[in-house]
Amino acid sequence: MDITKLIRTIPDYPKAGIMFRDITTLLNDAKGFRRTVDELVLPHAGTKIDKVAGIEARGFILGGAVAHQLSVGFIPVRKKGKLPWETISQEYELEYGSDHVEIHVDAVEKGEHILLVDDLIATGGTAEASIKLLEQAGANVVACSFVIDLPDLGGRKRLEQLNKPVIALCEFEGE
């Protein structure tokens, strides 16, 4: 099964020149969704993973399913102000300005091995901030898994420069 055929491309969204890779069509296909989760889990069989961290919002769907399959806990990595309790935060740069990701202060125990999951790696800014946040909390991010890599934007290389293994199930050219 070629999962790329289940990913919808929406031209000029959210702005002109962007080819948005929409995984909702993949999630809507039972066999495709199952295959995707299985392929995200398989490379980590036999690896010590204590929890999966999923980046808001599609990373929650995928990360939750991966955590379930690995029989480990799940950590939501959210945008600033979305979590209801005490948080720690990591700022990161956007094209115009900055943003923050947060986790609860008790989401990670020192030394836990974390798998970071999201639907797509583009520039890698949010993923890098998530790694720094989890490590600030005392975790060891052992790998980063994505459904889609946009290699032209350099996110994979950015994470690999942090010595993080990066797994992506498929690639698309461009933005």
Active site residues: 58, 95
Beta bridge partners of 117: 54, 145
Which two tokens mark 137? 């909390």
Cis previous bond, 122, omega within 30: no
Answer whether 36's CB lies under 8 Å from 2's CB. no
Which two tokens mark 75? 């950590």
Residue with tokens 């299985």: 38
Sequence-separated (6 or more) residues with CB below 8 Å from residue 121: 127, 144, 146, 148, 149, 150, 155, 156, 159, 166, 168
Can you state the angle between helices 30-41 and 58-70, rounded to 10 degrees?
60
- Any idea of the CA torsion for 28, 30, 34, 39, to the nearest 10 degrees? -60
Residue with tokens 């934007």: 153
